[in-house]
Amino acid sequence: MSSQLAVVTVTYSPGEHLQRFIESLAGATVEKPQVILADNGSTDGAPEAVARAYDHVRLLDIGANIGYGGAINRAVAEVDDSIEFVVVVNPDVEWGPNALDELLAAARRWPRAGSLGPLIREPDGTVYPSARQVPGLASGAGHAILGSVWPGNPWTRAYRRENSPRDERAVGWLSGSCLLLRRAAFDSVNGFDSRYFMYMEDVDLGDRLTKAGWHNVYVPTAEVVHTKGHAAGRNPELMLPAHHESAYRFQADRHPRPWQAPLRGALKLGLAVRSKIAVRSALRSRATEQNLGAELQPRVTSHKETEAHGS
């Protein structure tokens, strides 16, 4: 086992993604770190199977779905205090060659780096904008409310920073789908804020690390592929409201003064309306896909039957 590194991931019926995650980790580092699966209530048996198959993988049964940040905090508390770095990563991430060693090397170059994150690719090879600025009230509200209906709005463009150079640099925050955390930094800010059930916990962490004097460092020489949404995409009626609630909490925490109450109220109302529209749209899309699948199924069956009869 590695004396400097541990890996923590949260599982919630991760399916086949988890096996690829473990297999690709072997090529991401010369170390053999302990891997802790913080399980939030899986029912597919995947975490148990992987823990049985690999002696460096440990299953930590959380006992209930307490959210992403809360489960990470529980798992990190199980890591020995002597371990300097903890990797926090989603189980649907596939590691690129030497990706983790690249992050560790960058951590040595940046002794005040509290978190370091790789270049993240979508499954189709496109680059996900994972290194961003911390949103202010206006930019955060503009992106949260208009981002999906007007993707090219100036607030979303500024927030996502999709055309930023791919160089190693300090940024406002990094995607929580894959982070190398310096344990001293993570502990100094008391880890993730567990009030965020899902979404925005990484933005909040990056902001608090910066305010505590640490850096969030983007390391594009390290690459991973993130499938995204293996759990979040299943229940849009639950996940989309959680996203909007987290966006509100982030800004409300940072604008708590009495004179800012009208701003908080307007933001809350705008996000609530946007959440309802987003949920309705997602459910409609899901129903359409299910209907199309049902319509196509008889045609596929009929085609196979025709082939079987030699017609």
Residues 127-137: tens digit of each pLDDT: 999 999 887 65
What are the pLDDT digits (tens) for 96-135? 999 999 999 999 999 999 999 999 999 999 999 999 988 7
Q: What is the pLDDT of residue 306?
A: 35
Same domain (yes/no): 115, 166: yes
Pair (131, 22) in one structural domain: yes
Position 251 scores a pLDDT of 79
Boundary residue ending a domain (233, 261, 294): 233
- Please give the residue that has the higher pLDDT: either 308 or 259: 259
Burial class for 105, CB neighbours closer than 10 Å (0-12, 13-18, 19+): middle
Mean pLDDT of the chain: 83
pLDDT > 60? residue 311:
no
Q: Is the torsion defined by CA of 157, 159, 160, 166 positive or negative?
A: positive
Any residues with CB less than 8 A from the CB of 196 and at least 6 apart, and which?
A: 67, 68, 69, 204, 246, 249, 250
pLDDT of residue 238: 62
Say if residue 78's pLDDT is above 90.
Answer: yes
Let me know whether 249 and 284 are in one domain. yes
Rg over alpha carbons for the chain, rounded to the nearest Å, is: 21
Within this chain, do residues 62 and 196 fall inside the same structural domain, yes or no?
yes
Task: Work out the average pLDDT over 164-175.
Answer: 89
Are 74 and 217 within one domain? yes
Pairing of strands 5-11, 34-39: parallel
The arithmetic mean of pLDDT across residues 65-76, rounded, is: 95
Final residue of a structural domain among 175, 202, 233: 233
CA distances from residue 124 to 16, 42, 225, 311 in whole angstroms, order as listed? 18, 27, 9, 38
Q: Which of 154, 190, 167 is nearest to 73 (CA)?
A: 190
- What range defines the domain where residue 69 resides? 5-233
On the question of pLDDT at 150 being above 80, the answer is no
Question: Is residue 257 predicted with pLDDT exceeding 90?
Answer: no
263 compared with 21, residue with greater pLDDT: 21
Domain match, 53 and 196 both: yes
Provide the domain count of the chain.
2
Region 162-174: what's the mean pLDDT? 83
* pLDDT on residue 256: 76
Q: What is the pLDDT of residue 39?
A: 97
Which pLDDT belongs to residue 281?
73
Which of 204, 233, 262 is a domain's end point?
A: 233
Higher pLDDT, 254 or 67: 67
Q: What is the domain-level CATH number for residue 27? A: 3.90.550.10
23 pLDDT higher than 50: yes
- For residues 26 and 122, state if they share a domain: yes
Same domain for 298 and 225: no
- Cβ-based neighbours of 41, under 8 Å, separated by 6 or more: 12, 62, 64, 65
